[in-house]
Structure 1
Amino acid sequence: MRFRPWWLLAMGLGCVSAHSHSEPSPVTAPARAGLPGQVLDAQGAPLPGTRITVIPRVPSWDVRSDAPVARVTAGAGGRLEVPSLPPGEYGLAGITPGGVFAVGETLKVEAGQPVKPIALRAERDSPGLLEGTVVDEAGAPLPGVALRIVRAGMPFDDVALLEASPEGRFQVRSAEGAHSVIASAPGFSTVMQRVPGRGEPVTVRLERAADASMSRAALAWMKQTGVPLKSVEAGQGLEDLAPLKPVLKDTRVVALGEATHGTREFFQLKHRMLEFLVTELGFTVFALEENFAEGLAFNDYVLDGRGDPARLLSGSAWNTEEVLALLHWMRRYNEDPAHPRKLKFYGVDMQFSPDAVARVKAYLAQVDAAQGTRAEEPLGWLALPRSGFSRLPVERQQEARVQLDALAGRFEAEKARYIRQSSAAQWAVARQCVRVLRQFVGKVLQEEEELRDRAMAENLLWALEHEGPGTRAVLWAHNGHVQRGPGEWREYAAGRHLADALGPSFYVFGMAFHRGEFLAFNMDPRPPPGRKGMVAFSVPPEPEDTLDAALAATGWPVFALDLRALPHTGPAYEWWRRSRRAHDIGFIYSDGGYPSLAQIHALRLYDGLLFVEHTTAARLNPR
């Protein structure tokens, strides 16, 4: 689940280790005392001139706007002193004189307690090159830009201030991982942009802020074009949604995003949109950000009534009253003899999946027992509990990859024989289970940075092909997965792959809200009583310069907006073509606060918007 990847791990590939040849003797650091340290290269030689950035390791600190707690430069002998740190935990990152992004261990400061001097050591590995140029809207380089380089980490990102040349160019080396650069300049909107680590220069374009006349024109256009909705709840009639029929009549896939993974009104509105698309436009596939194999059991229920949907949801991230109500509606729809074309359920995700392992084993036992015996061991590794496969030695993981590739080849070579002993549909589903297991192994081995999103798109396209010509699907996932263009943390989301494959027949609704509650996993290490696990959080109304506030200014509590209808010139277009901040919350949050806004370029990411002014938290099903 998720969009903004605070959960992405660098997997031990950082550029700096917090160890030197000999451990420095601890010093006692009273509250707000300076802390000594030293920066060394891989051979133990001092690195004078290294610029160190110190930031707090607290959820409320936002990499986009807040100043670092301290910035120091190593002097002679690579020695440095970080002044005036109050008690707390801090992240250390820096840029060496050779332009390497250097990251140290988390620094803990407690009043009156011994604190080891800061010791940073550059690694021997040659990191990748991250480079680019910051320009204005006309493409002219911008001198004097304030820059930060960010590497996604768990649970906090590593951040260092970065120097740009007078021509706005920047260059830094860093180990593998998801990197972004944040650029800001007076009179321009701050931009956060991905930087690939393959030596491909990027252009970071800063936009001047919109003026008041553009804002008024944008609001007038929304009031003229938007479709106010009377309710988020299904079963309330579909007359108010009728203006969306000509907008969506030629679509093959409609993606329904969400700005959080735990908002009741988002889930209810998606249910209502599904009802509309199925009954009015003939959609027959519902695809969820859920594992493929686990989704097959949901399909058994909605098609034939087999199984208990409440029990199936109990092991899912979607275990809410709203999703259970949607499943019950799908079952009732399929039970009605007036609906000869039945509604199917597909999962498109490819995370750890013991169900996929079990289905492949059972199928091989039916059609190729000898092959099933040979595949028993590698398939067993993939079903190890508690993410056991991810902790196996990399050689074992690579062996599983080889075995799965061989198994996929056998499925293709023996296709005719396998189908004779089962059916074409059974072969196709078992073959797809092998594919999603291979996708999972590729993700663990980090074969590519955004493999999960590509896999989700491929799995949905497989479902469309499997269901036959003319099949139309509704996709439910986070905004960050369905977006059709590059965003802050994803260059190629699943939506972008689908847009490449389907063209204009792919339509993306981003979902937005102004204020209210949502459900998320509390990432605080020591939550207070009653605040452990999935709990409700809330956010206040956001500032006037945000996209959410602009949508709320319409005065409509719930509405739909077709961004494809926006004129390509004029003041309203000038407002919409600029990026602005909007709520962007995933599966985790914190009682101590958490960055809840991201820079959103709505015209690049979405074809339309669904907006709810005031939200409440999704309701968990009883245990």
Structure 2
Amino acid sequence: MVRDLQHTVHPLDAAAVLHLLPGRPRILALGEPTHGAGALLRLRNELFWELVEQAGYRTIALETDCLAGRVVDDYVATGEGHLDDVMRRGFSHEWGAFPANRELVRWMRAWNERAGNVRTDEAGRPDAGRLRFAGFDGPLEIQAAASPRAALTSLYGYLSARVEAELLPCTADVLDRMIGADVRWTEPAAMMDPARSVGQSAEARELRLLAYDLATLLDTHAPQLVATSTAQEWDRARLYGRTATGLLRYHFWMADPSPARMTRLLAVRDAMMADNLLALAESSPVLVNAHNSHLRRGMSTMRMWDHPRLEWWGAGALVSARLGERYGFLASAVGTIRHHGVDDAPSDSVEGLLSALGADRSVVDAPGLAALLGGSVARVSPWFGYAPLDPAQLADLDGIVFLQDVPED
């Protein structure tokens, strides 16, 4: 069996990854089975650098706040700000504290500066070679969702400077009054108790309609707005529209007391992710890095609190349905994470079989592996922070990036 498996395994580099795919995907997703592992993040960085230099990729999108990510993108493009502050304000979920993320941002900035790709033309379009950074998650944390203020007021400010005042659905003062105090929206207790959420209050319902009206103005006046905006201004206005409507939809379902509440919240979050990825892919090929569960083509599943099994269509499934072969997905898998009690995998699990091949890191032809295995046992993790590969989903992967060991950083 090991001898047969060797034909599906290749040294890990960008060329080997792209060889597994029918063409260069518009969105290439690299999943991870656990968050924050330095070895996996460094591997991601190396793959992105090779894709930039060899395959024309120009954007990387991480599972972090899409609005905060503007701070990082501005720094990468122009050097605006200080790196310490950029890492603190430009990432959510404390991702800015990881050294590999810092090294990624530093490298992207150096590339742009060295290549002279920070210039823009008269229409505000960046040089084709300029690297871009994006967060593609909503402004969401596991404990709470953000206030819609930042997205709504930014969208309103963009539109009010470019369309007739009578076309706006309200004044800026009315919008501010309806949003109210931000602490109402960020109430931590609302995640566990829908009665503590303001998402279905009369004000929130009306605010949701206003957000859709503002987003509709973007669509109905697109020719005028594109002509009077730089490319970045237009892209960010669309981001504000997606985020405002998505956040208010998320808050609405936070206030839902039905048994389907958590499923709806997970689905809304991944729908926001998918919309952001599709928008990014319009301008350049994108490498995406997030948890495997968000990027798979099949149904995503999770255990959470008192829910033994939640199922929803994740961002990868939604994007794949739109892009077909222009979406590629590599799931990462690991042999051991010993400092978290994840020791040698069972020999008849996917991770155990790949570990037996002895390579420290490799990329695997997942459909080819699935055809050889016929079936294997599912590994069970003793640590909640690590999700092993599901053998039943191997055939839906384009490849597996395998790392023999994840050491403690």
- Is the contact made by 1:515 and 1:614 (CA closer than 8 Å) also made in structure 2? yes
Among 465, 474, 482, the alignment partner of 2:287 is 474
Offset of 1:512 from its aligned partner?
A: 1.0
1:77-98 per-residue CA deviation (whole Å, 9 max, x = no partner) reads xxxxxxxxxxxxxxxxxxxxxx
Among 136, 144, 154, the alignment partner of 1:348 is 136
Q: How do residues 26-425 of structure 1 correspond to structure 2 at under 5 angstroms?
A: 216=1, 219-229=2-12, 241-248=14-21, 249-315=23-89, 316-317=92-93, 318-319=95-96, 320-337=98-115, 341-350=129-138, 351=140, 352-353=145-146, 355-357=150-152, 359-364=154-159, 366-367=161-162, 371-380=171-180, 386-387=186-187, 391-392=197-198, 394-395=200-201, 396-415=203-222, 418=225, 422-423=229-230, 425=232
- Is the contact made by 1:487 and 1:605 (CA closer than 8 Å) also made in structure 2? no
1:182 alignment counterpart = none
Within 1, Cα distance between the matches of 2:8 and 2:387?
Answer: 28
Q: How do residues 5-16 of structure 1 correspond to structure 2 at under 5 angstroms?
A: none
Offset of 1:549 from its aligned partner?
A: 1.6
1:21-40 per-residue CA deviation (whole Å, 9 max, x = no partner) reads xxxxxxxxxxxxxxxxxxxx
Among 320, 330, 354, the alignment partner of 1:551 is 354
- Is the contact made by 1:254 and 1:473 (CA closer than 8 Å) also made in structure 2? yes
- Is the contact made by 2:20 and 2:365 (CA closer than 8 Å) also made in structure 1? yes
Within 2, Cα distance between the matches of 1:611 and 1:421?
Answer: 48
1:496 alignment counterpart = 317
The alignment partner of 1:345 has SS state of strand
Kindly provide the amino acid, as one letter, of the partner of residue 276 in structure 2.
N
Offset of 1:484 from its aligned partner?
A: 1.2
Within 2, Cα distance between the matches of 1:604 and 1:283?
Answer: 26
Offset of 1:596 from its aligned partner?
A: 5.6
**1:437 aligned onto 2:250:** no
Within 2, Cα distance between the matches of 1:427 and 1:603?
Answer: 39
2:257 alignment counterpart = none
Change (3 A) 1:566 1:551: closer
1:483 alignment counterpart = 296
Give the unaligned 5+ runs of structure 1.
Answer: 1-215, 230-239, 519-536, 590-594, 619-623
The alignment partner of 1:392 has SS state of coil
Among 356, 379, 391, the alignment partner of 1:581 is 379
- Is the contact made by 1:512 and 1:582 (CA closer than 8 Å) also made in structure 2? no
1:484-541 per-residue CA deviation (whole Å, 9 max, x = no partner) reads 11244344111111111111221111111121257xxxxxxxxxxxxxxxxxx44222
Kindly provide the amino acid, as one letter, of the partner of residue 331 in structure 1.
R
- Is the contact made by 1:383 and 1:389 (CA closer than 8 Å) also made in structure 2? no
Kindly provide the amino acid, as one letter, of the partner of residue 281 in structure 2.
L
- Is the contact made by 1:579 and 1:601 (CA closer than 8 Å) also made in structure 2? no
Within 2, Cα distance between the matches of 1:222 and 1:346?
Answer: 37
Offset of 1:387 from its aligned partner?
A: 3.9
Kindly provide the amino acid, as one letter, of the partner of residue 102 in structure 2.
L
Where relative contact order (Cα < 8 A, 6+ residues apart) is larger, the structure is 2
Offset of 1:401 from its aligned partner?
A: 1.5
Change (3 A) 1:259 1:227: same
Kindly provide the amino acid, as one letter, of the partner of residue 134 in structure 2.
Y
Kindly provide the amino acid, as one letter, of the partner of residue 278 in structure 2.
L
Identity fraction in percent: 24
- Is the contact made by 2:330 and 2:398 (CA closer than 8 Å) also made in structure 1? yes
- Is the contact made by 2:10 and 2:362 (CA closer than 8 Å) also made in structure 1? yes
Offset of 1:612 from its aligned partner?
A: 1.2
Within 1, Cα distance between the matches of 2:353 and 2:369?
Answer: 16
**1:540 aligned onto 2:343:** yes
Within 1, Cα distance between the matches of 2:405 and 2:234?
Answer: 47
- Is the contact made by 2:33 and 2:387 (CA closer than 8 Å) also made in structure 1? no
Higher strand share: 1
The alignment partner of 1:543 has SS state of coil
Q: Which moved more, 1:356-365 or 1:476-485?
A: 356-365
Within 2, Cα distance between the matches of 1:367 and 1:613?
Answer: 55
The alignment partner of 2:84 has SS state of helix
1:202-222 per-residue CA deviation (whole Å, 9 max, x = no partner) reads xxxxxxxxxxxxxx2xx3333
The alignment partner of 2:81 has SS state of coil
Offset of 1:415 from its aligned partner?
A: 4.2
Within 1, Cα distance between the matches of 2:231 and 2:387?
Answer: 47
RMSD over aligned Cα atoms: 3.1
1:155 alignment counterpart = none
The alignment partner of 2:32 has SS state of coil
Within 1, Cα distance between the matches of 2:211 and 2:154?
Answer: 14
**1:463 aligned onto 2:241:** no
Change (3 A) 1:300 1:353: farther
Within 2, Cα distance between the matches of 1:374 and 1:413?
Answer: 23
2:363 alignment counterpart = 560
Q: Which moved more, 1:497-506 or 1:272-281?
A: 497-506
Higher helix share: 2
Q: Which moved more, 1:448-457 or 1:270-279?
A: 448-457
1:138-184 per-residue CA deviation (whole Å, 9 max, x = no partner) reads xxxxxxxxxxxxxxxxxxxxxxxxxxxxxxxxxxxxxxxxxxxxxxx
- Is the contact made by 2:331 and 2:399 (CA closer than 8 Å) also made in structure 1? yes
- Is the contact made by 2:349 and 2:377 (CA closer than 8 Å) also made in structure 1? no
Offset of 1:458 from its aligned partner?
A: 1.5
The alignment partner of 2:68 has SS state of helix
Change (3 A) 1:357 1:312: farther
Q: Which TM-score applies when normalising by structure 1?
A: 0.52
- Is the contact made by 1:582 and 1:598 (CA closer than 8 Å) also made in structure 2? no
Larger Rg over CA atoms: 1
